[in-house]
């Protein structure tokens, strides 16, 4: 599930959109392998933040609109298991990226 809030700013030449929100993970599981041992564990339900800043230039290359976005997502994992591998395990993944595209 995903919930967010966005704001658009429009000009004759471009449109800027800022969106922030959270993703909610539901009933996920993962397979861990540590030191040759592996186990499947349940992940706790978590809320993970995200943000995105997008710009759409209405008149890009040859009047074809160009879209660019800078985004950030963070995913935190906590294991919900009685496994020996799961004790005191906390994992976090952060992504920052740039997307460029053409609109037609």
What digits encode the pLDDT tens for the residues 4-63? 999 999 999 999 999 999 988 777 777 777 777 777 766 777 888 999 999 999 887 778
**Higher pLDDT pick, 64 / 37:** 64
Cα 104 from Cα 93, distance rounded (Å): 34
In the sheet that holds 14-24, the strands lie side by side as: 2-10, 14-24, 47-57, 66-78, 90-102
**Higher pLDDT pick, 5 / 90:** 5
How many separate helices (H) and strands (E) can be counted in the chain? 0, 7
**Sequence ranges of the domains in the chain:** 2-71+88-102
Q: What is the pLDDT of residue 84?
A: 65
Are the C-beta atoms of 2 and 23 separated by less than 8 Å? yes
Is the pTM for the entire model greater than 0.85? Answer: no
Q: What is the pLDDT of residue 52?
A: 97
A 10 A CB-CB count for 88 gives 5
């Amino acid at each position: 599930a995903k919930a967010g809030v966005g704001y658009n700013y429009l000009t004759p030449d471009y449109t800027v959109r800022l969106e922030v929100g959270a993703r909610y993970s539901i009933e996920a599981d993962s397979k861990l392998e540590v030191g040759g041992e592996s186990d499947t564990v349940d992940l706790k339900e978590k809320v993970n933040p995200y943000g995105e800043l997008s710009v759409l230039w209405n008149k890009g290359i040859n009047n074809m609109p160009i879209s660019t976005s800078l985004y950030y997502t963070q995913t935190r994992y906590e294991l919900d298991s009685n496994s020996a591998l799961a004790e005191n395990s906390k994992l976090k993944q952060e992504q920052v990226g740039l997307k460029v595209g053409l609109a037609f």
